[in-house]
Structure 1
């Protein structure tokens, strides 16, 4: 796939065909299901929580800010009559992630659906995670991967208690994977000493790289845990107007909010389809695109060699943080 073709694919995601998927009608009753939504206090994550509550799921809203989360929980209770549960989760440091996982484990023995929705974009190039990793990559990739892997026992238990024998991990990526550079992952840019590489790429390219890595982790996780009843799929939610783009500067923010045609209410459609639909219960290692469609992989979304290397990199970073 050349630059022209990858750009075409990127733009195609912004003008998807009309979808017949309707969460209000198509999400089955989720009574008895335990669900975590990361970044659930705002944007697409908040809308995801709302639909899950309406279908009687027990939802943990995993967020960094207690104040914002508790405000969202109050508002959602007014809208749905149901109350989400706050789980403090800061994805910028592995020890912080471990504390969140332990807190969840102290309350629940099963997890049926994990929506890895939280993300950051446009952080200053000099900012790093607690482990010295480029901050967007640390928050969007390493933190969620660590969180997911710590919850394997609960996901396995959730699969065993589910009527369809499955627990689902839903990983929110982006159409930015098609704008990622040809190396797919610039390993030097991830590390503390990679300031020159980060400066060369720039913040937006680093974000696109992190979203490719979300997809790469999802693919590798799918290969490794399918035999335990856990499925893992990645998706692009679409061109949604959210606060994610607030750090990109006034012109870029204006352009995005002007030409990203879809309101936040459209944002959770594909996530909910992947995470709850009976049609997707056997999907594993898939790539889903707006709205509620599966897409074939290509060389910009699937590379087993890089996926395996990323897995090893993540495991090395995780040592001593469990």
Structure 2
């Protein structure tokens, strides 16, 4: 589902004075999200694990032009919960408000030579555990910003239609009750790459749903947009004949600039606040269309199981 009529340059209000964080933003959809929001006047922190790539991305944005906004690089490493906590604390040292957090960082592939922490693959560490800890560490500032009723505070966690392909087996309802069982099921030799990715994106949606329930009393909106099918090098560069595939994808699918529209809409579109009962906690297709989530994603028990399992794991790490 695609609504080309939306364009952030014309359909978003002035964001001057707003502070936004976008993780995983040195390229692709994250990069485009930073650009669109900055051009509406926001001060946007471009999060990147790789400092050189992050600073190069900022330089490129400044060269392209960001209008009245501002773009600032900040070190954002979600590869472990501790790194995620340190990244958030680095941001907290330099800002006194946070209007929108866009959890865009994602790992699509696991690599055989990548070490995992405590038996958890890199994909799940980045996509769920790191994102969870990063968000958790920023919650006090998000809540503080939302104390002013004139502020519109949001947490946007970028999702995927792949969440529908997760946990289709008989153990679906108990997958997140026990960390050891989850790790065992999710391991490289037990589950194919795309299946692991689907499970991590289901975790994103479960997380977003739970977070909205917890933050609604604080006047914070949590929303999970998916970008649709987008031609990004993050995915195609890992495939055989990647240059040929990138060329074909560019012909068939929209690029990152348009792929970021739904994230920008979720982070800043005025109708989200005006119709909070409709959009709060929603899963949204491009652009701004609420769609039904997979039954597992709407299962409140699974939402709570994942949250509690994650909290136990983080507590075990001393976080």
Same fold at TM > 0.5: yes
Structure 1 residues 219, 68: closer, same or farther in 2, change over 3 A?
Answer: same
Decide which of 308, 311, 318 is 1:312's aligned counterpart.
308
Bigger mean CA deviation after superposition, 173-182 or 144-153? 173-182
Tell whether the 8 Å contact from 2:32 to 2:257 is kept in structure 1 after alignment: yes
TM-align CA RMSD: 2.5
Deviation (angstroms), 1:303: 1.3
Q: Quote the Cα distance in structure 1 between the aligned partners of 2:58 and 2:187.
A: 41
What TM-score do you get using the length of structure 1 for normalisation? 0.87
Q: Secondary structure at the match of 1:157?
A: helix
Tell whether the 8 Å contact from 2:284 to 2:291 is kept in structure 1 after alignment: yes
Q: Quote the Cα distance in structure 2 between the aligned partners of 1:271 and 1:235.
A: 6
Q: Quote the Cα distance in structure 2 between the aligned partners of 1:30 and 1:161.
A: 16
Structure 1 residues 51, 294: closer, same or farther in 2, change over 3 A?
Answer: same
- What does the per-residue CA deviation read over 1:39-71, in whole Å, with 9 as the maximum and x for residues that have no partner? 111000000000111111111111101101111
Please name the residue that 1:108 is paired with. Answer: 95
Structure 1 residues 39, 132: closer, same or farther in 2, change over 3 A?
Answer: same
Please name the residue that 2:228 is paired with. Answer: 238
- What does the per-residue CA deviation read over 1:217-263, in whole Å, with 9 as the maximum and x for residues that have no partner? 00011111110112111121110011221464316886686355111
Gaps of 5+ in 2: none
Tell whether the 8 Å contact from 2:11 to 2:269 is kept in structure 1 after alignment: yes
* Deviating 4+ runs (over 3 angstroms): 125-132, 183-193, 195-198, 251-260
Tell whether the 8 Å contact from 1:92 to 1:129 is kept in structure 2 after alignment: no
Decide which of 158, 175, 180 is 1:172's aligned counterpart.
158
Decide which of 256, 281, 284 is 1:264's aligned counterpart.
256
Decide which of 101, 110, 133 is 2:120's aligned counterpart.
133
Structure 1 residues 279, 315: closer, same or farther in 2, change over 3 A?
Answer: same
Structure 1 residues 232, 201: closer, same or farther in 2, change over 3 A?
Answer: same
- What does the per-residue CA deviation read over 1:85-127, in whole Å, with 9 as the maximum and x for residues that have no partner? 1111111111111111111111112111000001111112574
Please name the residue that 1:6 is paired with. Answer: none
Tell whether the 8 Å contact from 2:163 to 2:199 is kept in structure 1 after alignment: yes
1:36 equivalent in alignment to 2:32: no
Q: Quote the Cα distance in structure 2 between the aligned partners of 1:190 and 1:171.
A: 25
Q: Secondary structure at the match of 1:232?
A: strand
Tell whether the 8 Å contact from 2:78 to 2:126 is kept in structure 1 after alignment: yes
**Paired residue total:** 306
Q: Which residues in structure 2 correspond to 1:54-93 (within 5 Å)?
A: 54-81=39-66, 82-93=69-80
- What does the per-residue CA deviation read over 1:201-232, in whole Å, with 9 as the maximum and x for residues that have no partner? 21111011101110010001111111011211
Q: Secondary structure at the match of 2:93?
A: helix
Decide which of 215, 221, 227 is 2:217's aligned counterpart.
227
